Amino acid sequence: MVDLTDEERAAIAATMKRVALLMDEIGWATPLGGLTEAQVRALIEESVEGFREAMSDIAKANAPEVPF
């Protein structure tokens, strides 16, 4: 098990919201084995992009302001 930072946990929570929106389109009752290759790819891409964006936003929010 990986020890996640608070920032990573927050990024995962933000990513879950994005993935949930995609799952709304796919259908929550669809079993994993019933997903098409395109749907699996879309879920992975949404997960990776969502996590990346959330971590970037968190880093920007935590960066010290440049005084000049």
Q: What is the DSSP string of the chain?
A: -----HHHHHHHHHHHHHHHHHHHHH-TT--GGG--HHHHHHHHHHHHHHHHHHHHHHHHHHSPPP--
Domain residue spans of the chain: 7-62
Whole-prediction pTM value? 0.81
Instruction: Summarize pLDDT for 24-67 with one digit per residue, the tens.
Output: 999 999 999 999 999 999 999 999 999 999 999 999 998 887 77
